[in-house]
Structure 1
Amino acid sequence: MYIGVDLGGTNIAAGIVNDSGEIMLEMSIPTLSERAADAIIDDIKSLILNLIKEFGLSKNEIKGIGIGIPGLADADGNVIHCVNLGWNDVPLTSKLKQEFDVPVFVDNDATVAALAENFCGAMRGAESGVLLTLGTGIGGGIVFGGKVYSGFNRVGSEIGHMVIGDNFYDCNCGKNGCLETFASSTAIIKYTKKLLEETNEESLIRDKINGDMGKLNAKIIFDCAKAGDSLAEKSVRRLVKYLAIGIENVISLIDPQVIAIGGGVSNAGQYLLDMVIKEVEKYKNYKELPIGKIVIAKLGNKAGIIGAAMLCK
């Protein structure tokens, strides 16, 4: 058995995972991210101990612990930078090994989600695969031959920060034109707000939010687009266009067998997928050759725990 931990800015989720990638028992607690790193790490230790006790295992029956973080870690499991938690240079692996005498692995949350999708999800059996998680930002994970690829400095899968054009607002990273400022849930919300504020165009969205921009979310925009609302359709088409450009750039660079789309935006399902595939076909370099499969990710919120555990394998 392995332990997989999905460390987020809001919650810490952890599970006992078997060799097949099945979660046998899962628990979660609030992160309370305003606290110091040591307090959060103590909570991770307690959560793991509670899982082991509840499942009826002993510490020495655990083969390893994997942790997915919303940031960057080096090969020794030191968290280099984690904006959501305010962590810099935190020796996460060594602190956990004070309690658990097993191998501990740490990697980016989107990277471990890609590993999960490759092991038992939408990219299962693929020699090469890329996962794009479209949420508040855009995370990316690359898997070759069943192993994650993150590059020389472990930042090689930051696909969301690929610059693909000029935009009307800057990315949180400080650059202008990052993919995540065009194709994330944040991006489509910002652009739709811009249209609503700058035009008097009638829209179902106005009725849905009743003048309260704080109620606007990606689901409302996609639902209205599906209903034929022209303003919503304009926002969705813009997201699809730039997402397709980003995907074509990935294809031009590594030509993966499968590209999976996850995160909250992927809940738009086949409606989104059909448009993305059609748009990618327009941009591809070699018209006579097929591209890898573009699919919706399967594992949802479970991918973080499963993928973290699979780091141990």
Structure 2
Amino acid sequence: MKEYCFGIDIGGTTVKCGLFNVKGDILEKWEIPTRTENNGVNILPDVAATIDAKIQEKGIARDTIAGVGVGIPGPVNEEGAVICAVNLHWGYVELEKELEKLTGLTVKAGNDANVAALGEMWKGGGAGYHNVVMVTLGTGVGGGIIVNGKIVTGTHGAGGEIGHVHVEDDEHESCNCGNQGCLEQYASATGIVRLANRMLAATDKPSVLRNEEVTAKSVFDAVKAGDELAMEVAEKFGKYLGTALAVVAGVVDPEVYVIGGGVSKAGKIILDYIEKYYKKYVFQGSRDCAFALAELGNDAGICGAAKLVLG
């Protein structure tokens, strides 16, 4: 009888690990460093070693373990292979096969944003829904799409790359992906700073933002204080993201959008700006889609990874 599983979230700096029971309760969580040197050759052996150490520490019988779920910052195809993971210094890696050999356990892998979306659907802001789009607003803009409880990965494992939806023709700076005018350039934490700095440079309008370091947090703190220029930045942010999500709704028609990442810590106020433009531009059939803030924080990845295994 299966009683346990592991959820692993491999990031560029740390590997977050969780031991779960089959109900989805986190029994223990911990981290190990991500050793990316030498093209990340040590990452999977390190993951296998920490799993084995936890099995030994807890005295868990291996035949009671359902498996290991893994989230990766890069596309993962249907065979469980990573096409490329720049932050891990990986090229093509047959992740599921390699980690199964190292651990002797069943392994299921997915893109980290998709896996986080699965976690939020299961235990967080998307609980109770089966058609969920998660948008993670951090250094970049990540996306995860769940349809009928299943992750949409696409042909190349790139399904849900909402951050690279084209939203602006009049853009001369390049996104990290090499294109220009991506949503990520305006709706991420760095994108909000870009919008604010451009507006500060274009007008003499007074703003508290002129007297402090401009960050996504300082922009939304200023919005809450009624700063007019900051509110104009928030309007632009909301228009870009709300419009993009209206387009996404025309394809997948979700029940709920779950908004996570560092920017979401500003709270419900960001949902108000997004929903305003979403409802303005969306096809009427998807207008009653709900919006919610993510609830799991840094645990979304390990929870979603566990859910990959538990099904």
TM range (shorter): over 0.9
Query: Is 1:177 matched up with 2:181?
Result: yes
Structure 2: gaps of 5 or more residues: none
Kept in 1: contact 2:132–2:147 (CA 8 A)? yes
SS at match of 2:42: helix
Residue matched to 1:219: 217
SS at match of 2:295: coil
Kept in 2: contact 1:134–1:184 (CA 8 A)? yes
Please point out which of 220, 238, 241 is paired with 1:240: 238
Tell me whether 47-56 or 276-285 shows the greater mean CA deviation. 47-56
Relative distance call for 1:137 and 1:196 in structure 2 (3 A) is same
Please point out which of 303, 306, 313 is paired with 2:303: 306
Percentage of matched positions with identical amino acids: 40
Kept in 2: contact 1:6–1:109 (CA 8 A)? yes
Deviation at 1:289, TM superposition (A): 6.8
Task: Report the residue type matching 1:158 in the other structure.
Answer: E
Deviation at 1:248, TM superposition (A): 0.3
Distance in 2 separating the partners of 1:18 and 1:206: 51
1:15-67 per-position Cα deviation (integer Å, ceiling 9, x unaligned):
01222322110010222434432212222122222332333323333211111
SS at match of 2:28: strand
SS at match of 2:167: coil
Residue matched to 1:63: 66
Relative distance call for 1:301 and 1:104 in structure 2 (3 A) is same
Distance in 1 separating the partners of 2:177 and 2:8: 26
Kept in 2: contact 1:59–1:100 (CA 8 A)? no
Query: Is 1:46 matched up with 2:46?
Result: no
Residue matched to 2:32: 29
Structure 1: gaps of 5 or more residues: 210-215
Distance in 1 separating the partners of 2:57 and 2:201: 53
Tell me whether 91-100 or 255-264 shows the greater mean CA deviation. 91-100
Kept in 2: contact 1:27–1:47 (CA 8 A)? no
Distance in 1 separating the partners of 2:302 and 2:26: 8
Query: Is 1:281 matched up with 2:284?
Result: no
Kept in 1: contact 2:234–2:273 (CA 8 A)? no
Kept in 2: contact 1:25–1:51 (CA 8 A)? no
Residue matched to 2:119: 116
Residue matched to 2:250: 252
Deviation at 1:88, TM superposition (A): 0.7
Please point out which of 5, 13, 16 is paired with 1:10: 13
Distance in 2 separating the partners of 1:181 and 1:289: 26
Relative distance call for 1:54 and 1:223 in structure 2 (3 A) is farther
Residue matched to 2:94: 91
Distance in 1 separating the partners of 2:308 and 2:268: 30
Please point out which of 204, 210, 225 is paired with 1:206: 210
Distance in 1 separating the partners of 2:172 and 2:236: 13
Deviation at 1:10, TM superposition (A): 1.5
Distance in 1 separating the partners of 2:167 and 2:295: 27
Task: Report the residue type matching 1:291 in the other structure.
Answer: D
Tell me whether 101-110 or 152-161 shows the greater mean CA deviation. 152-161
Relative distance call for 1:193 and 1:50 in structure 2 (3 A) is farther
1:220-243 per-position Cα deviation (integer Å, ceiling 9, x unaligned):
111112112222222211111101
Distance in 2 separating the partners of 1:109 and 1:16: 18
Please point out which of 173, 186, 191 is paired with 1:187: 191
Task: Report the residue type matching 2:124 in the other structure.
Answer: G
Kept in 2: contact 1:80–1:89 (CA 8 A)? yes
Distance in 1 separating the partners of 2:203 and 2:272: 29
Kept in 1: contact 2:238–2:276 (CA 8 A)? no
SS at match of 1:80: coil
Distance in 2 separating the partners of 1:32 and 1:217: 30
Residue matched to 1:292: 289
Tell me whether 46-55 or 240-249 shows the greater mean CA deviation. 46-55
Q: How big is the alpha-carbon RMSD for the aligned residues of Structure 1 and Structure 2? A: 1.8
